[in-house]
Amino acid sequence: MKLHLFNIANFKVDGGALFGVIPKALWSRAYPSDENNLVVLTLRSLVVETDGRVILVDSGWGDKQDEKFFRYIYQHNGEGLVNGLKVRGYNPGDITDVVLTHLHADHCGGCVKKKPESTGFELVFPEAEYHVSRSQWEWASKNNLREEDAFLEENYLPIGQSGRLNLVDEEDELFPGFSVRICYGHTPGMMIPVIKYKDKTLVYTGDLIPTVAHLPLIWNMSYDIESLKTIEEKKKLLDEALENNYTLVFQHDVHIECCTLRMTPKGIRVNEKFNFSEII
């Protein structure tokens, strides 16, 4: 198995939205904001090469939307999606599978691009099979007022129309050494990849635990659809990770890529922090 982690881009969100009911006086110590209350997040994508498959986990925002849409996202730095893959020796046609944790725009937008010199859209990874949980696909397809700015039809409908969509019904091993667990607090059907690599278990935490600062059980995003479920799902994962010495890999933490865990008087917290390169 070969693994690669790279940052597609940085972007900014409101700190209050990122930490929900937690007062700024507390969260700003753990994750500082700028003068406009904005905090910087990353969009790290994971590549897993195993058993003849080249699997991409999440694809970032993409670039289909207009300037007005991106004005409030403040994308900057990062390697880009296609370039980040190229640096690691992959072309879009080499990707055999795309696993989408969920269908919010910052996680799936890079899968679809505008057709050159014509109307309509096409897949960025034309040879890939796209894996989404059935519950997330059905939830996104009917949309809702709360998430309508995150579920953009141009990001996911072309995938469904392509005939390359695989709907995942249950937690299972999708590929050798690569399994998913399904969560419902952030958005129904979000998939969290769990990867067996040599003697380690790696958990790509996605939006369940977007940053190290979100390890405390009640430190959660206001974007979560059901915050009590998020707490329950985090507790289950963190208890299991602590007991079995899992490594957490953070998709959105601009400061920290990975950590292990320890028990403290305040609950489960960071033990060691390190870069992904130290794992591989």
* pLDDT tens per residue, range 179-189: 999 999 999 99
DSSP the chain: -EEEEEEEEEEEEEHHHHHTTS-HHHHHHHS---TTSEEEEEEEEEEEEETTEEEEE-----S-S-HHHHTTT--BSS--HHHHHHHTT--GGG--EEE-S--SHHHHGGGEEEPTTSSSEEESSTT-EEEEEHHHHHHHHH--TTTTTT--HHHHHHHHHHT-EEEE-SSEEEETTEEEEEE-SSSTTEEEEEEEETTEEEEE-TTTS-SGGG-STT---TT-S-HHHHHHHHHHHHHHHHHHTPEEE-SSBSS-SEEEEEEETTEEEEEEEE-GGGT-
**Residue 119 pLDDT:** 84
**Residue 278 pLDDT:** 97
Average pLDDT for 166-172? 97
CA gyration radius, the chain: 18
Average pLDDT for 236-259? 98
Which domains are delineated in the chain? 2-278 (3.60.15.10)
Q: Do residues 241 and 233 touch, judged by C-beta distance below 8 A?
A: no
Take residue 67 and report the two structure tokens written for it: 């300037």
Residue 108: CB partners within 8 Å, gap ≥ 6? 58, 59, 100, 102, 155, 156, 159
* Residues recorded for the chain: 280
Amino acid at residue number 47: V
Residue 71: CB partners within 8 Å, gap ≥ 6? none
d(CA 126, CA 75) in angstroms, rounded, equals 26
Average pLDDT for 249-266? 98
Q: Do residues 203 and 178 touch, judged by C-beta distance below 8 A?
A: no
pTM score, whole prediction: 0.97
Work out the pLDDT band at 39, boundaries 50, 70, 90.
very high
Q: 64-118 pLDDT, tens per residue?
A: 999 999 999 999 999 999 999 999 999 999 999 999 999 999 999 999 999 987 7
**Residue 226 pLDDT:** 97
Is residue 123 predicted with pLDDT exceeding 90? Answer: yes
Q: Do residues 180 and 190 touch, judged by C-beta distance below 8 A?
A: no
Percent of the chain with pLDDT over 90: 97
Nearest to 132 by CA among 154, 102, 153, 112: 102
Is residue 277 predicted with pLDDT exceeding 90? Answer: yes
